[in-house]
Amino acid sequence: MATFAYFALNGFLMGMWIVHIPGVEHRAGISHAVLGWLLLLLGAGAFVGMQVVGPLTDRFGARTVVPLSAALCSLTLFLPGLAAHTWTLGAALLLLGVGNGCLDVSMNAHAVQVERGYRRPVMSAFHATFSIGGVLASLVGARTLALNWSPATTLGAATLLGLAVAALAAPALLPSTGSSGPAPDSGAGTPDAAASPRAQRTTPRHIWILAGLALMIMLCEGVANDWSALHLRTVLDAPAATAALAYGAFATTMTLGRFLADRAADRLGPVLILRYGAAMAAVGLTAAALSPWIPLALAGWAVFGAGLSGCVPQLFSAAGHLDPDNAGVNVSRVAGLGYLGMLAGPAVIGPLTHLIPLNVTLFLPVAFCVVATISAGVLHPQPPSPAPRETEPAA
């Protein structure tokens, strides 16, 4: 329940920022173009925070790092509401990104630890709770905006709420794996692996493969976030209200699918969840891209969300379980590249639309889904081979 609380808190905090972007932009007196460049600082800060907090989580334990990261993310949320100039808003977004990245990786590393003790998949449900937090933020933000609360007031209240949740949920977190008893035998905790300094400093090739898949899958999510409504609006000439339903269909099936994905992964295994989920996503997006009818396009975006829903949690879970002693670092690598993919989605699709129609550019994420379908077998556990003993004769 404490882990659910931190995932919901992260979704709520970032949702509150998103809801107040127009007000913050107006207060800072900047254009949409300048805001677009400043948002890159948010992504850069998140990437830096992810890489920094991964080793800290492994060293000090998620029980220590998660509450501190939640407090940092909560405190930095207040800063954009105070920004009155371009440079102050840029600095605020950079710090907010660092806080968000720290909380993202540390809570996912703890979720892996919970999943190991729970002895069945639960990662997708945690990610679904993140989405629930975003929905709650949109409802609260809509109400406070209707009451004419300033961004500084609303974000300040959200900061206080975040600090309270960070403190109240902290005692229920699990201690570090080193003090909670022996880890399940995965081959990664052998004395040879633990004693090798190189094994601790070098990220395994398997992790980079998982990170590459995370980049492709989360790029697909980023395309849906930023281009689904524009697809219906510009390609199918749908009314603005109808076009907005494209993202709504995607987000709804994404959230529902994540609540169901854990049970499916427990019965079928993570490999089939990634393989058939990515294949379903490819079919859904292909239908949306080729459809001449609005209802079919909406159905395609819904299928796209359902297919992607269980993919990223399986990658995070696999990265954390590969080597429990270095779960924080491994999750930070996968989450970091995945986050870059989500940011790259809009940046890649945008320039392509100057060369080819928007619906044709959607076949790039379709191709990534196909690659994920073919490569799903990498989720099979691959513990490192023990080092050969010097006294053993050659084969």
Instruction: Measure the CA–CA gap between 295 and 283, rounded to whole angstroms.
Output: 16
pLDDT single digits (tens) 48-62: 998 899 899 988 988
Instruction: Measure the CA–CA gap between 331 and 316, rounded to whole angstroms.
Output: 6
Identify whether residues 19 and 167 lie together within a single domain.
yes
pLDDT single digits (tens) 175-188: 875 434 444 343 33
Q: Mean pLDDT score of the chain, rounded to an integer?
A: 83
- Return the top range by mean pLDDT from 17-26, 175-184, 246-255, 360-369: 360-369
Classify residue 387: in a domain, yes or no: no
Classify residue 68: in a domain, yes or no: yes
Classify residue 341: in a domain, yes or no: yes
The number of domains in the chain is 2
Identify whether residues 278 and 369 lie together within a single domain.
yes
Q: Of 155, 175, 195, which closes a domain?
A: 175
Q: Quick one: average pLDDT of 243-255?
A: 83
Structure confidence at residue 40 (pLDDT): 81
Identify whether residues 162 and 56 lie together within a single domain.
yes
Q: Of 128, 154, 175, which closes a domain?
A: 175
pLDDT single digits (tens) 120-129: 888 889 989 9
Give percent of the chain with pLDDT exceeding 90. 37
Classify residue 17: in a domain, yes or no: yes
Identify whether residues 366 and 234 lie together within a single domain.
yes
Identify whether residues 214 and 315 lie together within a single domain.
yes
Domain span holding position 274? 205-379
Confidence category of residue 381, pLDDT binned at 50, 70, 90:
low
Classify residue 192: in a domain, yes or no: no
Structure confidence at residue 181 (pLDDT): 40
| pLDDT over 80 at 336, yes or no | yes
Instruction: Measure the CA–CA gap between 365 and 149, rounded to whole angstroms.
Output: 40
- Angle in degrees, 0-180, between the axes of helices 311-322 and 294-308, rounded to the nearest 10: 10
| pLDDT over 80 at 240, yes or no | no
Write out the two tokens for 275.
Answer: 């393989």
Identify whether residues 167 and 222 lie together within a single domain.
no
Classify residue 189: in a domain, yes or no: no
Distances in Å between the alpha carbon of 266 and those of 40, 109, 277? Answer: 38, 20, 15
Classify residue 188: in a domain, yes or no: no
Burial of 133 (0-12, 13-18, 19+ CB in 10 A): buried
- Angle in degrees, 0-180, between the axes of helices 294-308 and 205-230, rounded to the nearest 10: 160
Instruction: Measure the CA–CA gap between 190 and 206, rounded to whole angstroms.
Output: 18
Q: Quick one: average pLDDT of 337-341?
A: 84
Distances in Å between the alpha carbon of 259 and those of 129, 175, 180, 262, 282? Answer: 9, 26, 28, 7, 21
Structure confidence at residue 142 (pLDDT): 81
Classify residue 269: in a domain, yes or no: yes
| pLDDT over 60 at 150, yes or no | yes
Measured in degrees and rounded to the nearest 5, phi and psi for residue 236 equal: -100, 0
Structure confidence at residue 382 (pLDDT): 46
| pLDDT over 80 at 191, yes or no | no
Report the CATH number that the domain containing residue 288 is assigned in CATH: 1.20.1250.20
pLDDT single digits (tens) 270-314: 899 999 999 999 999 999 999 999 999 999 999 999 999 989 889
Instruction: Measure the CA–CA gap between 181 and 31, rounded to whole angstroms.
Output: 55
Lowest mean pLDDT among 185-194, 255-264, 295-304: 185-194
Identify whether residues 112 and 240 lie together within a single domain.
no
Structure confidence at residue 285 (pLDDT): 94
Q: What number of helices (H) and strands (E) belong to the chain?
A: 18, 0
Identify whether residues 218 and 164 lie together within a single domain.
no
Identify whether residues 15 and 159 lie together within a single domain.
yes
Identify whether residues 142 and 226 lie together within a single domain.
no
329: number of Cβ within 10 Å:
24
Identify whether residues 108 and 220 lie together within a single domain.
no
Identify whether residues 86 and 229 lie together within a single domain.
no
